[in-house]
């Protein structure tokens, strides 16, 4: 890079950080965030999930695919045949990391993922989660008792058409069951060959340490994005210290960072977005300042706001692997394009 380009990137970086500071409390760009970056062109014309990352000792593609929305949460459940085709397209483009949970549906997401991955089982990494009672066929309360974990695992193995789960997360911490007991149960399952790696989701630093002391935690999955930044207050530091990978869910803030919504958007009470603090009318007015800044930078660099936002997460640490969810083939290809965006050092 010549001196003129270096100067331009340096000035742009300072400008972005100064402007992000104006976007409101909680939206400040991190000290290593949003430096100048370049894009690498893919001569084949399609984005590919090039490169691998490590979640502890588990190797995965640099971007994963979240499969919750396939079973419906913010949208109706999708046809299985179409979702299987979408997952196959992701595999064809180099993506190897797929994330689901028994509670998605419940069970329907695992059924989709199981059918889609069966022909590729030895070439992909399969992650699912336990921690809610779904024995009635509906989502119940939290349940991480050892006997229930074993029951949940057998159901997941059956639906996923496999004999081993690559990454088995505690979906949410159960206040009635010590996390050491949960970790010990998963440790036994690993010894039995039914699970390869243990993960946690939405856990505090002390909980992570307590679980890790019993069974090594390979990955922590929690919400993290350019807007949702609480993970930077001790969580990521704990992961780095312990050698734990980090898997951001909601990396595009349910579409907010892609420009899907604006300050005039209003949600019906039945829409789950209406329950989110950063989707209230007051919050949207503030958050759209950052969204528009992202849009400006993305346009300047010739990428979409979604690609920019995903690439920013990947640039924070080499052990961060976002898992954007989608049910749309065009969005899948767009998301994979984030792998072709490279940030320079701050």
48 within some domain? no
295 within some domain? no
What CATH number is associated with residue 133? Answer: 3.20.20.100
Note down the domain range covering 159: 64-215
Name the one residue in this structure whose structure tokens are 């690993």.
190
pLDDT value at residue 346? 58
What is the average pLDDT across 76-99?
Answer: 97
Predicted confidence band at 74 (pLDDT cuts at 50, 70, 90)? confident
Which residue among 104, 168, 224, 278 is the active-site one? 104
pLDDT tens across 260-279, in order? Answer: 889 988 988 888 888 888 88
What is the average pLDDT across 341-345?
Answer: 79
300 within some domain? no
Print the SS3 string covering 124-183. Answer: CEEEEEECECCCCCCCCCECCCHHHHHHHHHHHHHHCCCCCEEEEEECCCCCCCCHHHHH
Say if residue 79's pLDDT is above 70. yes
220 within some domain? no
236 within some domain? no
Please give the C-alpha separations between residue 230 and each of 1, 97, 241, 284, in angstroms, as whole numbers. Answer: 34, 25, 18, 18
330 within some domain? no
104 tagged catalytic: yes
Longest dimension (CA), the chain: 65
Q: How far apart (Å, rounded) are the C-alpha atoms in residues 237 and 240?
A: 5
Question: What's the total number of domains in the chain?
Answer: 1
pLDDT value at residue 301? 87
Q: What percent of the chain has pLDDT over 90?
A: 77
268 within some domain? no
pLDDT value at residue 25? 35
What is the average pLDDT across 121-149?
Answer: 96
Q: How far apart (Å, rounded) are the C-alpha atoms in residues 298 and 208?
A: 35
Q: How far apart (Å, rounded) are the C-alpha atoms in residues 198 and 202?
A: 14
């Amino acid at each position: 890079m010549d001196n003129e380009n270096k100067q331009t990137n340096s000035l742009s970086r300072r400008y972005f950080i100064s402007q992000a500071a104006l976007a409101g409390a909680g939206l400040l760009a991190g000290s290593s965030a949003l430096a100048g970056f370049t894009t690498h062109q893919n001569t084949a014309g399609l984005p590919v999930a090039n490169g691998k990352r490590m979640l502890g000792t588990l190797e995965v593609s640099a971007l994963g695919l979240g499969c919750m929305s396939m079973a419906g949460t913010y949208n109706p459940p999708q046809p299985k045949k179409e979702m299987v085709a979408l997952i196959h397209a992701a595999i064809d483009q180099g993506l190897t990391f797929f994330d689901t949970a028994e509670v998605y549906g419940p069970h329907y997401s695992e059924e989709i993922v199981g059918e889609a991955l069966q022909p590729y089982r030895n070439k992909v990494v399969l992650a699912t989660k336990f921690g809610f009672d779904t024995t009635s066929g509906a989502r119940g309360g939290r349940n991480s008792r050892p006997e229930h974990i074993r029951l949940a695992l057998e159901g997941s193995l059956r639906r996923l058409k496999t004999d081993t789960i690559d990454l088995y997360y505690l979906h949410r911490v159960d206040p009635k069951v010590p996390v050491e007991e949960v970790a010990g149960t998963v440790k036994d399952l690993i010894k039995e060959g039914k699970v390869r790696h243990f993960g946690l989701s939405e856990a505090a630093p002390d909980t992570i340490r307590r679980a890790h002391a019993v069974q090594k935690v390979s990955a922590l999955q929690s919400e993290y994005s350019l807007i949702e930044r609480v993970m930077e207050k001790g969580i990521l530091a704990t992961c780095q210290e312990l050698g734990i990978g980090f898997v951001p869910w909601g990396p595009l803030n349910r579409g907010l960072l892609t420009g899907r919504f604006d300050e005039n958007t209003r949600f019906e009470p039945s829409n789950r977005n209406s329950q989110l603090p950063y989707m209230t009318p007051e919050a949207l007015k503030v958050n759209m300042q950052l969204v528009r800044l992202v849009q400006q930078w993305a346009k300047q660099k010739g990428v979409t706001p979604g690609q920019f936002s995903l690439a920013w997460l990947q640039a924070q640490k080499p052990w961060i692997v976002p898992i954007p969810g989608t049910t749309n083939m065009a969005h899948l290809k767009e998301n994979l394009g984030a792998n072709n965006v490279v940030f320079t050092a701050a």
